[in-house]
């Protein structure tokens, strides 16, 4: 099994930056993709960004393109989300998602049903 644990959330002023981390501990399983989803109060959970273990491909929601960057450190089984120029609309609980083998390439990484394991989330609050 895999247990993702997120960190790095907090309170930030609009225009500021945060870096989220997700460490995915595992036992005899191969992680092939990781992603970030977010959910604001009263709203549905939405896709933010995703990345394959190899680093290619990557995907971003249109709302965060140019502001957020997803990356991985395979040696640490960790995925990062660098969040710049934050807006009040980015306020949400951010959840890390992990997919284990087998790998499927393509846009499936954008969808919740693709992932096997989910973290508890880390809260990001952007004040305006």
Each residue's pLDDT expressed in tens, for the chain with a length of 128 residues? 888 999 999 999 999 999 999 999 776 678 889 999 999 999 999 999 999 988 889 999 999 999 999 999 988 889 999 999 999 999 999 999 999 988 776 789 999 999 999 999 999 999 98
Confidence at residue 88, expressed as pLDDT on a 0 to 100 scale? 97
Per DSSP, the residues of 14-60 read TT--EEEEEEEEESS--EEEEEEEEE-TTS--EEEEEEETTS-SEEE
Phi and psi of 50, rounded to 5°? -150, 155
In whole angstroms, give the CA distance from residue 93 to residue 29.
27
Give which of 113, 8, 19 is closest to 71, Cα–Cα. 19
Give me Rg for the CA atoms of the chain: 14
> Can you name the residues that pair with 10 across neighbouring β-strands?
124
Confidence at residue 27, expressed as pLDDT on a 0 to 100 scale? 66
């Amino acid at each position: 099994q895999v247990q993702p644990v997120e960190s790095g959330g907090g309170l930030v002023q609009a225009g500021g930056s945060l870096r989220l981390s997700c460490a995915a501990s595992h036992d005899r399983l191969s992680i092939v993709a990781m992603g970030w989803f977010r959910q604001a109060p009263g709203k549905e959970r939405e896709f933010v960004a995703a990345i394959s273990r190899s680093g290619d491909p990557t995907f971003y929601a249109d709302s965060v393109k140019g502001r957020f960057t997803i990356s991985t450190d395979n040696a640490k089984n960790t995925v990062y989300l660098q969040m710049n120029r934050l807006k009040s609309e980015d306020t949400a609980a951010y959840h890390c998602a992990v997919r284990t083998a087998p790998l499927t390439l393509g846009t499936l990484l954008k969808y919740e049903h693709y992932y096997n394991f989910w973290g508890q989330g880390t809260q990001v609050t952007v004040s305006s």
